[in-house]
Amino acid sequence: MTLRAVGADPSPDVLALHGGLNEVVGRVPDARPWLSVTRLHVVPMRFGARVKSKSVDSMSADPPFVTTPVGAEGLHLGTIARFLVGESPAEMVSLCDRLLRDDALWVDVQQEMLRICREHFSAEGFRRSMEKVLVDCGVA
């Protein structure tokens, strides 16, 4: 198995990992080709607010991902959060290990993630959410 670090501005610590089974790719113009050929994504977000586009990109690319509580904010993960959200590096490693070894769990989580994307992050899901907001505000 190869670990690929894809993303802008890798730190010196990340760059030092390059070699052997670790490949530091860095910035790419479009992450989708990289995301769509993996078994699992790891999104170790340490800061940010609301929904992170990296997490939505991972969800829509097909494979499951493991992230931090910050990375999971606003994603409507519900019951599958227990398989995807780790509070510590050790917990994230454990979640990754389980998803990589348990094919049935991987399929269940992947299918639920795609359902969540369709419901909350598609154009139709966005339209429904905005209609609800307008009704709640008394505008529509």
How far are the Cα atoms of 48, 58, 120, 127, 139 from residue 39, in angstroms, in the given order?
Answer: 25, 11, 23, 31, 44
When mean pLDDT is compared across 1-10, 16-25, 46-55, 111-120, the lowest value belongs to 46-55
43-87 residue pLDDT tens: 887 776 555 566 666 666 678 889 999 888 888 889 999 999 999
Token code pair at residue 101: 């070894």
22-38 residue pLDDT tens: 999 999 898 888 888 88
The rounded Cα 102 to chain-centroid distance in angstroms is 18
85-124 burial, b at 16+ Cβ within 10 Å, e below that, comes to bbeeeeebeebbeebeeeeeebeebbebbeebbeebbeee
CA distance 50 to 52: 6
CA distance 41 to 63: 7
Residue 100 has pLDDT above 70, yes or no: yes
